[in-house]
């Protein structure tokens, strides 16, 4: 009966509305889970052994590691209540909103707009990446898989082993019935061939948001011979994603969704997707982590732990420019922060930066159609 109702629901309700319903249900579940305050804790830690800031986490025990990851803090450094940190340097991290706190999205999608030809999209890639893709493109092709036995073989030899290799026992494996449903009905499963050798696969599906068609990468997989060799994995993964982008563009999609990553500036996966044209999208989050910056030493704190935040439904980036750093050090630190999809970039500093530095930071975004506003904030 439930299966029949689900089929009728999919047939009668447009995909864009189903997406909004799923998003609303996920948000309600998240908010309900947060109300179970007996699952909350108060924990104290710091960014590093030399950090002068005390971080107080207030929230569910199961979400503490996520908060630590967002701040790139050292998991092994917990501090006692009498550690001697001043209240002016205290950072509050909570699952409960309070005035003045930054609304930090735990995860961010990376979306490639497909309004332009693939050649134009790739023209903004790093020169070495463009050369590698051009050199390797003719040797690879995608081939759709729909037979149940073939789908199970791909799942057993690539999807599951690669997920386990990346995440170990914490890997979130997709049930085979869901893989088959995506491959045979609501999405597609493609194997990646280098000549006649199977070197990878990708599982994807379509979604509708605000009447725009998205092709989303659900999961990529590779055989052990590929993922055990870091160079082969890097090259194969790049061409796999590139062919998926080509397919989505050729089939009339508006966006190619590269999937979620931890919402932390400096996260390697987020930067990898940025280098492939991914613009940040905050829509995947059912809830935020709220962070109150310290009253003293904001520039130093954000230098160590830059943060994304959502302001009036728009994504912003908070960077620190502490005393004792010169322009070259700042540009070296932030050279990978040229993310697309930002509304504003805040520079927290103890003294106004010179115009040359401001222009250098603006240069990170000049290739974008709508570069963010650069705004300085004086901090103590």
What average pLDDT does range 123-141 have in this prediction? Answer: 88
CB under 8 Å to 271, separation ≥6 — which residues? 336
Mean pLDDT of the chain: 88
Residues 192 and 140 sit within 8 Å (Cβ to Cβ):
yes
**CA angle 286–219–242, rounded 5-degree value:** 110
The dihedral over CA atoms of 194, 196, 199, 201, expressed in degrees to the nearest 10, equals 100
pLDDT of residue 309 exceeding 60, the answer is: yes
Model pLDDT, residue 300: 93
**pLDDT for 326-347, tens place per residue?**
999 999 999 999 999 999 999 9
pLDDT of residue 81 exceeding 90, the answer is: no
Q: What is the DSSP letter of 185?
A: I
CATH number of 116-253: 3.40.630.30
In the chain, what percentage of residues exceed pLDDT 70? 89
What average pLDDT does range 105-120 have in this prediction? Answer: 93
Instruction: Give per-residue burial for 3-30: e unless 16+ CB within 10 Å, then b.
Output: eeeeeeeeeeeebeeebeeeeeeeeeee
pLDDT confidence of 136, banded at 50, 70, 90?
confident
pLDDT of residue 188 exceeding 90, the answer is: yes
Model pLDDT, residue 86: 63
Neighbouring-strand partners of residue 308: 317
Model pLDDT, residue 125: 83
Q: What is the DSSP letter of 325?
A: -
Q: What is the DSSP letter of 48?
A: S
CB under 8 Å to 65, separation ≥6 — which residues? 75
All structural domains of the chain with their residue ranges:
2-34, 37-107+284-378, 116-253
Distance CA 254, CA 234 (A): 27
Model pLDDT, residue 369: 87
pLDDT of residue 257 exceeding 80, the answer is: yes
**pLDDT for 200-239, tens place per residue?**
999 999 988 888 899 999 999 999 999 999 999 999 999 9
Q: Which residue has the tokens 């994504």?
A: 315
Distance CA 204, CA 84 (A): 51
| Residue that wins the pLDDT comparison between 167 and 278 | 278
What average pLDDT does range 83-102 have in this prediction? Answer: 83
Model pLDDT, residue 29: 74
pLDDT of residue 56 exceeding 60, the answer is: yes
pTM of the model: 0.86
Q: What is residue 36's three-state secondary structure?
A: coil
**CA angle 28–284–177, rounded 5-degree value:** 85
**pLDDT for 265-308, tens place per residue?**
989 899 999 999 999 998 767 789 999 999 999 999 999 999 99
Q: Is 69 exposed, middle or buried (0-12, 13-18, 19+ CB in 10 A)?
A: middle
């Amino acid at each position: 009966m439930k299966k029949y109702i689900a089929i009728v629901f999919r047939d009668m309700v447009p995909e864009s509305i189903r997406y909004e319903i799923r998003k609303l249900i996920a948000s309600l579940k998240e908010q309900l889970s947060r109300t179970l305050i007996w699952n909350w804790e108060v924990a104290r830690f710091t960014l590093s052994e030399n950090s002068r800031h005390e971080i107080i986490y207030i929230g569910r025990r199961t979400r503490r590691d996520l908060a630590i990851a967002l701040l790139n803090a050292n998991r092994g450094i917990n501090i006692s209540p009498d550690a001697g940190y001043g209240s002016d340097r205290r950072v509050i991290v909570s699952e409960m909103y309070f005035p003045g706190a930054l609304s930090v999205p735990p995860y961010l999608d990376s979306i490639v707009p497909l309004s332009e030809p693939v050649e134009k999209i790739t023209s903004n890639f790093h020169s070495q990446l463009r050369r590698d893709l051009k050199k390797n493109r003719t040797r690879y092709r995608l081939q759709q898989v729909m037979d149940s036995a073939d789908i199970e073989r791909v799942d057993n030899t690539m999807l599951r082993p690669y997920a386990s290799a990346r995440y170990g026992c914490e890997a979130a494996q997709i049930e085979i019935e869901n893989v088959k449903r995506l491959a045979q009905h609501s999405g597609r499963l493609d194997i990646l061939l280098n000549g006649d050798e199977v070197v990878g696969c990708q599982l994807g599906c379509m979604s509708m948001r605000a009447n725009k068609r998205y092709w989303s990468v659900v999961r990529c997989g590779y055989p052990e011979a590929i993922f055990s060799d870091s160079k082969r994995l890097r090259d194969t993964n790049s061409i796999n994603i590139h062919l998926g982008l080509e397919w989505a563009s050729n089939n009339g999609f508006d966006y190619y969704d590269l999937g979620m990553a931890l919402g932390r500036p400096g996260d390697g996966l987020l930067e990898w997707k940025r280098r492939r044209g991914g613009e940040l999208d905050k829509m995947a989050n059912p809830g935020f982590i709220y962070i109150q910056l310290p009253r003293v030493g904001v520039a130093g704190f954000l230098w160590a732990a830059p943060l994304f935040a959502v302001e009036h439904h728009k994504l912003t980036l908070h960077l620190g420019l502490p005393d004792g750093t010169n322009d070259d050090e700042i540009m070296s630190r932030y050279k990978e922060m040229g993310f697309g999809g930002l509304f504003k970039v805040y520079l927290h500093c103890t003294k106004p930066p010179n115009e040359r530095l401001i222009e250098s930071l603006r240069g990170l975004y000049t290739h974008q159609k709508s570069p963010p506003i650069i705004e300085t904030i004086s901090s103590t």
